[in-house]
């Protein structure tokens, strides 16, 4: 790696362990999510300090809809609060907010607030914060295949024209580079249906601390491990 390439351009994070963090402290699960929101603020700033341009956060999966309605409502309220409280930071640092996933599944008031901030930050390019909401990697690929099928049906696309690039162009954020580094907290070591296409050549880093405890020092440690690895992409030493 060159010195420049030792800093990942895109970091993706599975923010795991909010509920277990709360349970260890005999707190309601929503308190774990509230504490996790502080980690989000911290890591957005840490990315800026480190020179990481893209940060994708797995905030709510399609599978999370099976959780208790009270917890889902609390999470959605927390998301709106986060947007209103932290929007000024996005503007101040010229950071663009983006969403991947089936945003149409979210409550109308949440969609409205997200769309407002997305629209008002759309011209920024110093950094990109991407929330994966009502997201799953399989759903993303399914939606992309459906779109290609519609284009084949209409004559816009021929099956023999489909390449890996074509598939990438039909994903939720086709202009965003694939993650260089994927971090998961809480000690779990799986990708849980997250960015299945994009993580093909990503470095994976698993941290034992729960997400509410994850701070800049932990992030710097992950970046240091990333910088120490040799990314060959199929090539030899």
Any idea where the domains of the chain sit in the sequence? 4-135+180-228
Percent of the chain with pLDDT over 90: 94
Report, as an integer, the average pLDDT of 83-90: 95
The sheet with strand 95-100 has its strands ordered as 95-100, 127-135, 54-61, 10-14, 181-184, 203-206
Q: Is 125 a catalytic residue?
A: no
Q: Binning pLDDT at 50, 70 and 90, where does residue 46 land?
A: very high
List the structure tokens of 15: 């923010």
Neighbours of 20 (CB within 10 A): 16
pLDDT at 3 over 70: no
Q: Is 64 a catalytic residue?
A: yes
pLDDT in tens, 123-154: 999 999 999 999 999 999 999 999 999 999 99
Report, as an integer, the average pLDDT of 59-78: 96
pLDDT in tens, 144-197: 999 999 999 999 999 999 999 999 999 999 999 999 999 999 999 999 999 999
4-135+180-228 maps to which CATH number?
A: 3.40.1180.10
Q: What are the C-alpha distances in Å from 212 to residues 42, 59, 98?
A: 10, 13, 22
Q: Binning pLDDT at 50, 70 and 90, where does residue 231 land?
A: confident
Question: For residue 179, what pLDDT is reported?
Answer: 98
Whole-structure pTM value? 0.94
- Active-site hit among 16, 18, 86, 180: 16
Report, as an integer, the average pLDDT of 94-105: 98
- Active-site hit among 18, 64, 175, 235: 64
**Which residues partner with 10 through β-bridges?**
54
CA-based nearest residue to 185, from 213, 221, 217: 213
Contacts of 172 (CB under 8 A, 6+ apart): 100, 101, 135, 140, 143
């Amino acid at each position: 790696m060159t010195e420049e390439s030792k800093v990942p351009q895109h970091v993706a994070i599975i923010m795991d362990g909010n509920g277990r963090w709360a349970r260890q402290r005999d707190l309601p699960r929503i308190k774990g999510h509230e504490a996790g929101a502080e980690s989000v603020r911290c890591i957005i700033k840490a990315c800026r300090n480190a020179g990481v341009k893209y940060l994708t956060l797995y905030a709510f999966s399609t599978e999370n809809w099976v959780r208790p309605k009270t917890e889902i409502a609390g999470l959605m309220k927390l998301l709106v609060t986060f947007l209103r409280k932290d929007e000024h930071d996005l503007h101040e640092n010229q950071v663009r907010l983006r969403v991947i996933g089936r945003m149409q599944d979210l409550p109308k008031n949440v969609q409205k607030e997200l769309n407002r901030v997305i629209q008002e930050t759309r011209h920024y390019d110093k950094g990109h914060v991407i929330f994966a909401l009502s997201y799953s990697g399989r759903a993303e690929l399914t939606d992309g295949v459906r779109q290609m099928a519609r284009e084949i049906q209409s004559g816009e696309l021929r099956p023999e024209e489909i390449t890996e690039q074509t598939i990438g162009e039909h994903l939720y954020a086709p202009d965003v580079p694939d993650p260089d580094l994927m971090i998961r907290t809480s000690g779990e070591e799986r990708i849980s249906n997250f960015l299945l296409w994009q993580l093909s050549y990503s470095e994976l880093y698993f941290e034992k601390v729960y997400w509410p405890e994850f701070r800049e020092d932990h992030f710097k440690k992950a970046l240091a491990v990333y910088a120490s690895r040799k990314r060959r992409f199929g090539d030899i030493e």
